[in-house]
Amino acid sequence: MENLDHTSGINQRRQWLFVFLVGLFVTNAITAELISNKLIEIPFSFSVNGSKFGPFITIVGVIPWPVVFILTDLLNEFYGEKAVRRISWITAILIAYCFIIVSIALNLPAKEIPGSSLATDAEFKKVFGQAQLVIVGSIAAFLVSQLMDATLFHWIKRKTGNKLIWLRSTGSTVVSQFIDTIIVLYIGFVLPGNMDLKTFFQVAPTNYFLKLLIAIALTPLIYLGHYLVKRYLEKDNIK
């Protein structure tokens, strides 16, 4: 009976942790899409052979993605490739649903009341009125990169076993985010004519390099996340 209670407790913790991680994952992914209509400067620069790189210009939506990277790794590690694939499809559908609601809101005329500081139609459209191909590119990039991340993560894990957490975490992210960068910029900006190929080949490496730096910088947090999850799931065994 004690063993059954122990097993039940572990299963409940796994379920509650899964719900929390998925909720946080979906929230960060949708938030990143909604706030991406703004550029920011990252005050980081360095020189290589006399050539200066930086500071870097990128979209503000890059802020929630470090959390998405960590959550993708934890879900891959503790719940498996199949779970991550399902979560990725569900998240892509929810992102599309979110943009449908935003589109409806954009087409409803604002009621301007004297003395009110709420957004006008023009202000609301400026913030949320992203081009349709940008939305399509964002969803396609997210879905393809997440599915590729899950596949590469578990391919590396099968080759290395439970060792080298940093390799499967960072390695899968490095490749998947390269694909993400190419897809979102090409579909969202090159296809509609808002960016020529010359600019594309200038912007894409910069955005990818930032994601690469983020992935490398997150390595200690990934190990910390693994430790905390294992401790939470196995706390009944801690005497």
Tens digit of pLDDT for each residue in 39-94? 777 787 778 777 777 777 777 777 888 888 889 999 999 999 999 999 999 999 99
Tens digit of pLDDT for each residue in 141-154? 899 999 999 999 99
pLDDT mean across residues, the chain: 84
Tens digit of pLDDT for each residue in 94-126? 999 998 999 999 999 988 888 777 888 888 888
Name residue 18's amino acid: F
Q: Is the pLDDT assigned to residue 224 strictly greater than 90? A: yes
pLDDT at 94: 94
pLDDT at 163: 83
In a domain, 48, yes or no: no
Question: CA 223 → CA 23, 77, 164, 194, 232, distances in Å?
Answer: 21, 11, 10, 41, 14
Asked if 108 and 158 count as a contact pair (C-beta separation under 8 A), the reply is no
In a domain, 50, yes or no: no
Dihedral of CA 142/148/150/153: which sign?
negative
For the segment 5-14, the average pLDDT, to the nearest whole number, is: 68
In a domain, 209, yes or no: yes
Name residue 213's amino acid: L
In a domain, 96, yes or no: yes
pLDDT at 8: 62
What percent of the chain shows pLDDT beyond 70? 93
For the segment 184-198, the average pLDDT, to the nearest whole number, is: 81
For the segment 185-189, the average pLDDT, to the nearest whole number, is: 82
Residues 6 or more apart whose CB falls under 8 angstroms from that of 29 comprise 64, 68, 91, 95, 142
> Can you give the residue range of the structural domain that contains 89?
2-40+57-237
In a domain, 49, yes or no: no
pLDDT at 238: 43
Greater confidence (89 vs 186) lies with 89
**Total domains in the fold of the chain:** 1
pLDDT at 239: 39
* pLDDT class of 9 with cuts at 50, 70, 90: low
In a domain, 6, yes or no: yes
pLDDT at 18: 94
In a domain, 45, yes or no: no
In a domain, 150, yes or no: yes
Q: Is the pLDDT assigned to residue 172 strictly greater than 80? A: yes
